[in-house]
Copies of this chain bind each other. A is one copy, B any other.
Amino acid sequence: MATTVEKQVMVIGADESEQSAYALEWTLDHFFAPFGPNSPFKLVIVHAKPMPSSVVGLAGPGAAEILPIVDADLKRMAARVTDKAKELCATKSVTDVTVEVVEGDARNVICDAVDRHHASVLVVGSHGYGAIKRAVLGSVSDYCAHHAHCSVMIVKKPKTKH
């Protein structure tokens, strides 16, 4: 039972890619910074931390020893991504932000976050937009564009040359 005063939720998926960092900056510049504290949105930044087993593959000899090492790496990456995101928000004076790390496949983690937060907008960066003339969206942004139960903003980094 949202009232008009209540802020809508905007979820943004964050990973370690340049496109993801650009998407967050673009979003802060367009939906938050110009409004000061009166942005119509509350921001939820979600980082999907892959499960160590999905990175290593199915169990084999030595898997039990490797998994904790991989998991420690994935945790460090999650910390880097979330720290960088928080820092960028602080730089743009955006304070109404929640940062979450959820373990799982990015596609499911992001779409689930949309449902859990009753988000009205999901922002994702687009991947693989470069050398090939026709843009190819990453599988995560493509999946989310189709499956998220809200409006979806796919942020593309402009090329330096038109």
Contacts and interface: CB of A to CB of B under 8 A. Distances in A.
Interface size bracket, A side: 20 to 34
Say how many copies of this protein the assembly contains.
2
B26 A151 contact: yes
B156 A152 contact: yes
Interface stretch (A47-55, A68-76, A85-93, A134-142): A134-142
Contacts of A155: 151
A155 to B, nearest CB: 5
B156 A153 contact: no
Nearest to A8: B30
Interface of A: 26, 30, 34-35, 40, 118, 120, 134-137, 142, 145-156, 158-159, 162
